[in-house]
Amino acid sequence: MKQIHISINGTRYQVAEHSNLAAVLMHNAIVNRRSVSGEPRMAVCGMGSCGECRVTINQQAHQLACLQQCSEGMEVQCEP
């Protein structure tokens, strides 16, 4: 499988092309956002219903990581 590079919070990662972004975040233990009380949040439903996997992709806010395939040069920002 072809390997590509994406950036998550400024760190470069090598992943398989067309990998699911939520899976990449979970595999690398990256918390994509926090609740109002500060609890870490990650993908829950895996099909775009819950919205817990929201990230910013290529400066487009509120993208659902579970519905995104990784592509070369993708820049992902997670909430601090």
Q: Given this model, what pLDDT does residue 35 score?
A: 85
Complete domains list, the chain, with CATH: 3-77 (3.10.20.740)
Q: Given this model, what pLDDT does residue 63 score?
A: 96
Q: Given this model, what pLDDT does residue 33 score?
A: 86
pLDDT one digit per residue (tens) for the chain, 80 residues: 899 999 999 999 999 999 999 999 999 999 988 888 988 888 888 898 988 999 999 999 999 999 999 999 999 999 86
- What does 29-69 look like in DSSP terms, one character per residue? T---EE-TT--EE--SSSSSSS-TTEEEETTEEEEEGGG-B
Q: Given this model, what pLDDT does residue 12 score?
A: 98
